[in-house]
Amino acid sequence: MTQKRVTSNNIIVFVADIVHTLKSLQKLIFQSQRSSTISQLINK
């Protein structure tokens, strides 16, 4: 019982970590896209 609970907790932590990583990646991509569009507007 306890081992199963520990593994499920590990899975939850693992999934939360993946979600957090994806969100930060998304934020970085969004920022880089926004800055590139701003530079395109300035160049125009």
Q: Determine the Cα angle at 20 with ends 37 and 35, to 5°.
A: 10
Res 1: pLDDT: 55
Q: What is the mean pLDDT of the chain?
A: 86
Average pLDDT over residues 2-27: 89
Distance CA 44, CA 1 (A): 64
Q: Which pLDDT score, from 0 to 100, does residue 36 have?
A: 85
Instruction: Reply yes or no on whether the pLDDT at 17 is more than 80.
Output: yes
Alpha carbon distances (Å) from 23 to 20, 26, 35 = 5, 5, 18
Q: For residue 33, what pLDDT is reported?
A: 87
pLDDT in tens, 22-41: 999 999 999 988 888 878 88
